[in-house]
Amino acid sequence: MAGQSDPHISLLSAQEVEFMAEDELIEIVPNMRMDSLNFICGDFGPFLPQIATEVPLWLAVALKKRGKCAIRPPQWMSVENLTRILEGERDSQGAFQALPFHYVEISTLLFDHARDDIPDMYMVRSLVEDIRDVRVHKVETSLEKFSGTSAVKIPNLSAMEVNIIRPFVGRALQAFYKHDNPEKIPDVDRASSGQTRVPNNEPREDMSEGGKIVPWMIIYSKNIQLDQASKVIFFALQRPLRR
């Protein structure tokens, strides 16, 4: 699958981060009449022509694609505000300006789907891209200051920025930890597989009805993790028939 995360490289793929950002609320101006929608995440609407209302971003994009609404770009996406933020980012070396946690994803989605609703679209887009580049560069320079396992604090980092550096920082901190405390080297493989295998081990004995493949065993293990599930299925197929 295109958007699926690779457990060995990163916890989440960029597509998955975008998926989570789609839950952020955004204001739309509908041009149709519709009753309110009741979702698990809340009730939205009712939708009346020219009356603004707040909906999740995914719903806004879906309605926009069908020509049922206009999206109101959020306050922070104005040219003045973005220019101020860009200047602030360039002036301060260490600190990051406050921006929405999902600013990269929200702006990308709006640029892709609601370009006619954003005033000065090209200006806004280039400002957002400049801010993003400056910030990513700043993250890299602040990572250079790592020299041990002291706690790392970078406030105001956004979801996508964290996601880009997560695999690298995770490994690097682990290595620093190892060299700082050679006595207590964490045996990552053993620790993690041990922890996750224990809950799997217990039901196995109960479920093995003479070596048959019991369907609910596979369903049960799917709840844990995908790669764990495949392990258990493999185990089930391997088990010899005793009867």
Partner 1 sequence: MANYYNIDDILTEEEVEQGAKVELPLWLAQELCLRQAVSISVPACFNQKTRLEIQADAACVDLRSRSPYFYEFGCKIAPLVGDKTVEVLLLSAFKIRYKEILTKAYTAAHTATSKFLTLLTKEETNLYEAAQSSMAAFKKWRKGGPRLQRASVLGRKRKPIE
Can you give the binding site for partner 1, defined by CB under 8 A? 1-3, 9-10, 13-15, 18, 108, 112, 136, 140, 143-144, 146-147, 160, 163-168, 170-172, 175-176, 178-180, 182-183, 185
Q: How many helices (H) and strands (E) does the chain have?
A: 9, 5
Nearer to partner 1, 13 or 53 (CB): 13
The maximal CA–CA distance of the chain, rounded, in angstroms, is 77
Say which DSSP state 34 is in. Answer: B
Shortest Cβ 7–partner 1 spacing (Å): 13
Nearer to partner 1, 94 or 210 (CB): 94
Nearer to partner 1, 95 or 136 (CB): 136
In which region does residue 210 sit, left (phi positive, over 0), alpha (psi from -120 to 50) or beta (all else)? left
Shortest Cβ 209–partner 1 spacing (Å): 33
Nearer to partner 1, 102 or 236 (CB): 102
Q: What is d(CA 166, CA 164) in angstroms, rounded to the nearest whole number?
A: 6
Shortest Cβ 123–partner 1 spacing (Å): 19
Q: What is d(CA 232, CA 214) in angstroms, rounded to the nearest whole number?
A: 11
Nearer to partner 1, 84 or 179 (CB): 179
CA 115 to chain CA mean position, Å? 24
Nearer to partner 1, 5 or 208 (CB): 5
Shortest Cβ 80–partner 1 spacing (Å): 25
Shortest Cβ 134–partner 1 spacing (Å): 14
Handedness of CA 138, 80, 57, 108 (dihedral sign): negative
Within the chain, strands assigned E span 25-30, 37-39, 42-44, 53-56, 69-72
CB 89 within 8 A of CB 97: yes
Q: What is the dihedral of CA 122, 128, 131, 134, to 10 degrees?
A: -80
Shortest Cβ 103–partner 1 spacing (Å): 14
